[in-house]
Amino acid sequence: MTAPSTYGLSTQARNLQWLLTDLVEEVPGVNSVAVVSSDGLLLLSSDPAGAGRSPSPAKGPRGASADLATIVSGLGSLTTGAAALMEGGGVKQTMVAMEHGSVFVMSISDGSLLGVHATPDCDMSVVAYHMALFVGRAGHVLTPEVRSELRQSMEKTP
């Protein structure tokens, strides 16, 4: 993964990008990661230029960050609706195990979501643990101001 540019970002936004980069690089089996706002917009990605590049077939879904953000947003919405129908309370985590990979979605704060696309042989408990660490560290930092800054920086990414 190429480290994204953090030039011009606030300390909080740079820290969030660092946490996301660390999640991808340090957790075995993680292909890509996306943070999505409550309205479905991509805030952070392990591949910020992914919408314009073609990733290798072994990495991430086609279209990289934009597709992962769409999947994360859709799964988040679907599981929130299902939880409401079943009177199950708030959704903490969603996991989809597929033949060729897994997708994890975890609530951060204010409706924001953390999504991870991982290999089929990943240790799901390790991925979930590191996602929980990210959520714990990022939740209080992801203020409306930082979300706005991250959204603007993603729009400027070529």
Is residue 3 pLDDT above 50, yes or no? Answer: no
Whether the CB-CB separation of 69 and 36 falls below 8 Å is answered with yes
Please give the mean pLDDT across all residues of the chain.
83
Rounded to an integer, the average pLDDT of 111-115 is 92
Where residue 111 falls (left for φ over 0; alpha for ψ -120 to 50; beta otherwise) is left
Mean pLDDT of all residues in 151-158? 74
The least confident of 4-8, 76-80, 109-113, 146-150 is 4-8
pLDDT digits (tens, 9 = 90+) for 32-80: 999 999 888 899 988 744 433 333 433 444 446 788 999 999 999 999 9
**Rounded Cα gap, residues 78 and 13, in angstroms:** 28
CA separation, residue 59 to residues 1, 14, 32, 77 (Å):
11, 24, 7, 25
Of 128, 157, 145, 151, the residue nearest 44 (C-alpha): 151
Quote the tokens at residue 59.
């990495």
pTM above 0.95, yes or no: no
CB 20 within 8 A of CB 3: no
User: Band of the pLDDT at 27, cuts 50, 70, 90?
Assistant: very high
Q: Which of 27, 92, 96 is nearest to 61 (CA)?
A: 96
